[in-house]
Homo-oligomer: A and B are copies of this chain.
Amino acid sequence: MMSLTAIKYHQSMSRWEPNAQGRLVQAALQLYVERGFEQTTVAEIAKLAGLTERTFFRYFADKREVLFWGAGALQELLESTVAAAPESEAPIATIRSAIEAAGAIFQERREGSLLRQSVIALNTELQERELIKLASLAAAMSEGLRRRGVAEPGASLTAEAGIVVMKIAFERWVEAGGEPDLPQLIRDTFSEFKTAAG
């Protein structure tokens, strides 16, 4: 094991790699699609990205986390959208805005979102990790609603409803190859959800 001083020295000596994280994500997705998630090693990802394994581990705990690096930013987006909603807005409208904002990000990163999903669809462990991520997002939004004075069980029910709509709208979008516009599809799915729950 290196001492902390040695680690700091090594870090300060390493070249700064422009967009290392983005290159690693892109290389990983390419290999996961071509060879399969299980068959790909961190060494191969780093090599394809033109970086070292040490650089990989500076950004990601393991090869699974490459597929979930955006989860923190997504949660912050949902939380900040809920926090910034007009005071008088109905909770379901607030949640719909948050999920639409998330949909706009997936739409912007269409190709990456589709590749990522095709990898996850083939691996049970990754699907489980995705379920856990969705549960955390629901909990974060329901906490956000409670901070705005929404009582339970309404806060949890509304937040969970939003996650159900996001999940199903996203599945429809992926099945159609990234069509139509995801925020619009999310709005439509919210409206179908209202009918289904009625």
A interface residues, Cβ below 8 angstroms from B: 91-92, 128, 131-132, 135, 153-154, 156-158, 160-161, 164-165, 167-169, 171-172, 189, 192-198
Contacts and interface: CB of A to CB of B under 8 A. Distances in A.
Counting every copy of the chain, the complex holds 2
Contacts of A171: 156
A192 B161 contact: no
A158 to B, nearest CB: 5
* Main SS class of interface, A: helix
Cβ-closest 5 pairs across A and B = A160-B164, A157-B196, A158-B196, A197-B197, A131-B131
B131 A161 contact: no
A169 to B, nearest CB: 8
Contacts of A164: 157, 160-161, 164
A194 B198 contact: yes
A152 to B, nearest CB: 8
Q: Which of A132, A153, A189, A193 has the most CB of B within 10 A?
A: A153
Nearest to A164: B160
Contacts of A91: 196
9 contacts: A128-B131, A154-B196, A157-B165, A157-B192, A161-B161, A161-B196, A164-B164, A194-B197, A197-B197
B192 A154 contact: yes
Contacts of A128: 128, 131-132
A47 to B, nearest CB: 32
Q: Which of A92, A161, A196 has the most CB of B within 10 A?
A: A196
Nearest to A188: B153
Given A135-B131, A197-B197, A160 B168 contact: yes
